[in-house]
Chains A and B, each alone.
Chain A
Amino acid sequence: MKKKNRVKEYLPLYLMMLPGLLYLLINNYLPMAGIILAFKKLNFSKGILASPWAGLDNFKFLFSSKDAWIITRNTLLYNIAFILVNMVVGIAIAILICEVKDKKMKKIYQSAILLPFLMSMVILSYIVYALLSAENGLVNNTILPLLHIDPIQWYQKPKYWPAILIIANCWKGVGYGCLIYIASLIGIDPTYYEAARLDGASKWQEITKITLPCLVPTIITLLLLSIGRIFYSDFGLFYQVPMNSGLLFPTTNVIDTYVYRALIEQGNISMSSAAGVYQSLVGFVIVMFSNWIVRRVDKDRALF
């Protein structure tokens, strides 16, 4: 009797999930079988399944060179920086926007933060070039002379690029998190604030004691979702924006660009598949670990 009720109660829910789960099965899980490409020495005349096994040979190129450490370090550090910077800036802007009383201006700001999404990385790389080009760039020709600094060959000096790429990434990507934070901020019960104001709390206390704690679930969800991608990079950002300039590799070469440059002459499908598996595996381990930690702290906040 109980079981029948349970089924009757939850059946509609399972039905609701059906189309989505079916799609994920087809679009994501079926092709996952393709991971075996990474472990085979492909011969299409024999077909994928009958091709000989290659063990871990296809993974060698990711670890065997001196560059392997550099690209791993770059990928990790940049992603950590991106996550932190975008989070801080995104929350700050979200709070500011929610504080604005003028409805018209609020609309304008909300539209503005999403605009950078519309710009492709290629165009962004032209804009950065317009700023940093040695001959005609805005910075070398206008800004630096004002500050009495000599022109800098931006595209030859690796040390400036972590800052440049972090700013470029923030400009382009902060809108995503920001909008989600705004949606969450709207969902906060205004009675909390009224009560706080009655108690005489300052603006700063309101933010730290009410707003931020209420945002924590969203922050954690966004964080866990980003951590899974921690070994991937935005190819356009690291390839186009530095104009594919070789001298910048020490600080701009990441796993994705390294694989691209390595395979563009060789076109080896197995090797690029191997790189993908490597990136996924690391992200997977880190996410499982992070989710486990979050689970220990507060069961509800974990992703699963």
Chain B
Amino acid sequence: MTYSRKTKRYQFWINLILIVMTLAVILPFLLVFISSITDENVLIRNGYSFFPEKVSFYAYQYIIRQGEKILRAYRITIFTTVIGTCLNLMFSALLAYPLSVKTLPYRRQITFFVFFTMLFNGGLVPTYLMYVNYFHIKNTIWALIVPNLLLSANNVLMIRSYFMTSIPEALYEAAKIDGAGHAQIFWHITFPLGKPILVTMGLFSALGYWNDWTNGLYYLSGNQGQKLYSIQNLLNQMITDIQYLASGKVAGNIGAEVAKLPTTSIRMAIAFIAMLPLFIIYPFLQKYFAEGITLGAVKG
């Protein structure tokens, strides 16, 4: 397709601005990666830099030696993220659609019921006491999935808003005339047309699960709990363990190994490893996003 000269110049400026934006986003991540392969002593002396004096992979070697724990943590994280996100999307969509139907009785009250949860919060202690003493989820995999992340009023209301504004009433009316019930309308019309917002909210939900470290912090403890650490919990623990070992509080000489622990570069390597799988997956998710785009464009 050939464009006019005006369009080409227009596209040039747009792309330029967006490329600058992309660089502004990518450079910090690059810095994290480079710091993780910078020699520890150089890092302390000269601070963070894009051009390190001395490169060292010691941080990654240390992490690889913890290999099995890390693989298990990845498995747990992937499991909780996949299951959690699916459940989250399902519940959110199922809750959002009825709320987008303008004629639903008690619609305003139920929406308020949902919205109110964003404003008032019982606090950590009551939530913890309820989940641990009544539902007994401490040290189980559900502790990573259920509290707070399984449904968020924020997502539900965003989805509802999208359903209400981007899906034309005409389609619903046509379907009703054809004799379709609500369930069928939802499945045949709303769900396909709502793909962009569903994928978006699904993405945020997945990110929420992937990055979460507080559920593990509060609900997993001791030996049993350790086996269920997600990757964030594990990395958090590795960092504090390393800091503790390097702090020398331990009496006596545990060996030259401890003296060599590269605390700062390990922190960076750990952060990088936590983000890595998402970097890899995201471009593939883009495909579904694009599908939603084209589906949304073909209407009427």
Contact = CB atoms under 8 A, between A and B. Distances in A.
Q: Report if A and B touch in the complex (beta carbons < 8 A).
A: yes
Contacts of B7: 101
A187 B94 contact: no
Given A118-B211, A284-B119, A111 B286 contact: yes
B200 to A, nearest CB: 5
Contact of A113 (B25, B158, B289, B297): B25
A112 B21 contact: yes
A130 interface: yes
B271 to A, nearest CB: 5
A53 B168 CA distance: 54
5 contacts: A20-B92, A101-B3, A101-B7, A218-B165, A304-B112
Interface string B265-292: 0011001001100110011001001101
Interface of B: 3, 7, 10-11, 14-15, 17-18, 21-22, 24-26, 28-29, 31-32, 35, 46-49, 90-92, 94-95, 97-99, 101, 104-105, 108, 110-115, 117-123, 125-127, 129-130, 146-148, 150-151, 153-154, 156-158, 161-162, 164-166, 181-183, 186, 196-197, 200, 203-204, 207, 211, 267-268, 271, 274-275, 278-279, 282-283, 286, 289-290, 292-293, 296-297, 299-300
Nearest to A136: B47
A96 B18 contact: yes
Nearest to B146: A27
A203 B13 CA distance: 14
A114 interface: yes
Interface of A: 6, 9-10, 12-14, 16-17, 19-21, 23-24, 26-35, 37, 93, 96-97, 99-103, 105, 107-120, 122-124, 126-127, 129-130, 133, 135-138, 171, 176, 179-180, 182-184, 186-187, 189-191, 203, 217-218, 221-222, 225, 228-229, 269, 272-273, 276, 280, 283-284, 287, 300, 303-304
Contacts of A99: 10-11, 14
Contacts of A123: 32, 268, 271
A182 B48 CA distance: 35
A14 B117 contact: no
